[in-house]
Chains A and B, each alone.
Chain A
Amino acid sequence: SAVISQKPSRDICQRGTSLTIQCQVDSQVTMMFWYRQQPGQSLTLIATANQGSEATYESGFVIDKFPISRPNLTFSTLTVSNMSPEDSSIYLCSVAGDGTDTQYFGPGTRLTVL
């Protein structure tokens, strides 16, 4: 499976600010995804990061709040904009290869918004 890294590992931010999370994969992958896991909750898909085009967002998530970039097949960023304490979560990127249904997750970013 691919080796996935995320930066930062954790951060504490003030409300109203924005944070960009990076996801780097050691090989080219077709599918990249961003998830959120709020405290005590399970994983919820935010969006699919599409290379060369706009991300596909799930119901309840919008581009203005969670802009995503995918400049190539090994890298993506998720920005959490105008943060509020409700955005305190673990943010995870995941990848899946062509023809496979298995997603592998990055190490996650733990975000706390004060």
Chain B
Amino acid sequence: EDKVVQSPLSLVVHEGDTVTLNCSYEVTNFRSLLWYKQEKKAPTFLFMLTSSGIEKKSGRLSSILDKKELFSILNITATQTGDSAVYLCAGSTSGTYKYIFGTGTRLKVLA
């Protein structure tokens, strides 16, 4: 059965800290790994990763995929209170557009 596992489940840090969120996956006919930020209801797209070893970066956020180890990480440097959210990763399946979501990491950044 396809699954995506995220760790840690929750994390509390102080502003300025750097955090690393983990995502491991077992997805049949894997196509890509996606990261989303969910603050209230709607997940907001962050990154899509399809190739191993190529870092994607947007401001203080970056992510990388390891297709050999079936693993991805999301890094956030110099965290701010606005980074507080649930971070979701999802694996997509080739040919179906179907996403398998992990349960998310709840990040709380304290001022």
Q: Verify if A64 is at the interface (C-beta below 8 Å from B).
A: no
> A42 with B42: in contact, given A33-B97, A96-B97, A101-B32 (CB under 8 Å)?
no
Contact bitstring B90-111, A, C-beta under 8 A = 1, else 0: 1010000111011110000000
Contact with B103, one of A1, A42, A48, A107 (Cβ below 8 angstroms): A42
Assembled-state Cα–Cα distance A102/B99 (Å):
10
Assembled-state Cα–Cα distance A110/B40 (Å):
10
Q: Verify if A113 is at the interface (C-beta below 8 Å from B).
A: no
Assembled-state Cα–Cα distance A106/B16 (Å):
31
> A108 with B102: in contact, given A33-B97, A96-B97, A101-B48 (CB under 8 Å)?
no
User: Which DSSP category, helix, strand, loop or mixed, fits chain B's interface?
Assistant: strand
Assembled-state Cα–Cα distance A96/B88 (Å):
18
Measured between C-beta atoms, what is the minimum distance from A91 to chain B in Å? 9
Contact with A105, one of B31, B43, B48 (Cβ below 8 angstroms): B43
Measured between C-beta atoms, what is the minimum distance from A79 to chain B in Å? 19
Measured CB to CB, the residues of B under 8 A from A are 31-32, 34, 36, 40-45, 48, 50, 88, 90, 92, 97-99, 101-104
